Amino acid sequence: QKEVEQDPGPLSVPEGAIVSLNCTYSNSAFQYFMWYRQYSRKGPELLMYTYSSGNKEDGRFTAQVDKSSKYISLFIRDSQPSDSATYLCAMLADAGGTSYGKLTFGQGTILTVHP
Amino acid sequence: EAQVTQNPRYLITVTGKKLTVTCSQNMNHEYMSWYRQDPGLGLRQIYYSMNVEVTDKGDVPEGYKVSRKEKRNFPLILESPSPNQTSLYFCASSLSAGGGQPQHFGDGTRLSIL
């Protein structure tokens, strides 16, 4: 079983839709949770960053972490064609863990927002 | 502009011919790392470096070497490339390994080993 599971999609939505992306994980040592966006032929770009459980909002993007369920989500409101990309969840263990500094990624979800 | 720069961006080569992919960051970051990205497998860590002269294996280090002689540079070396190393490679850096520092990625190097 993978440490981080993410539905690869692909996901296709109309412009203006609310998009929900999710990851589950099994390693309880993960404390830092990130969402990266990756456009074609580009490297992953940090989109959202959350420490421990809770919600974080940045413009049209909201990240949620539920550590009790080992479940994280990214919501995109009023989705735009420019949001079309691959979205990767990533997690980082606490500094005292054996996986020092190593990001563990989900497979990535391919999102297409059509006009 | 703060960035992680990888070269080359694309390379097609043959089995057994040594190659080096360079990575340079201009953010004075201590932590640097190499990942490979494969369909269905996502991004997996190859090697990482916590500072100059300090490197260690990640999840998939076989067939790769690294060095960290200067803080800004972290080259990835394939001494004898094989077709199973055909992949998309990313270099990343962060301020430090601890404290949950987010990592910044280069734009990738697509390697094809024939």
pLDDT higher than threshold 60 for residue A99: no
CA distance B104 to chain A (A): 7
CB B4 within 8 A of CB B24: yes
- Answer whether B4 sits within 8 Å of A34, measured CB to CB: no
pLDDT higher than threshold 80 for residue A83: yes
- The whole-number average pLDDT for the span B1-26 is 95
- The whole-number average pLDDT for the span B99-104 is 82
CB A35 within 8 A of CB A87: yes
Pick from B37, B46, B51 the residue to mutate for testing the A interface (most A CBs within 10 Å): B37
pLDDT higher than threshold 80 for residue A106: yes
The DSSP bridge partners found for residue A56 are A63
pLDDT of residue B99: 72
- The whole-number average pLDDT for the span A67-94 is 94
Task: Tell me which chain B residue has its CA closest to the CA of residue A50.
Answer: B100
How far is Cα B110 from Cα B13, in angstroms, rounded to an integer?
11
pLDDT higher than threshold 70 for residue A98: no
pLDDT of residue A33: 93
With left for phi above 0 and alpha for psi between -120 and 50, is residue B79 left, alpha or beta?
Answer: alpha
Which of B86, B84, B88, B87 shows the shortest CA–CA distance to B105?
Answer: B88
- Answer whether A92 sits within 8 Å of B100, measured CB to CB: yes
- Answer whether A95 sits within 8 Å of B100, measured CB to CB: yes
Relative to beta strand B10-13, strand B109-113 is parallel
3-state secondary structure of B85: helix
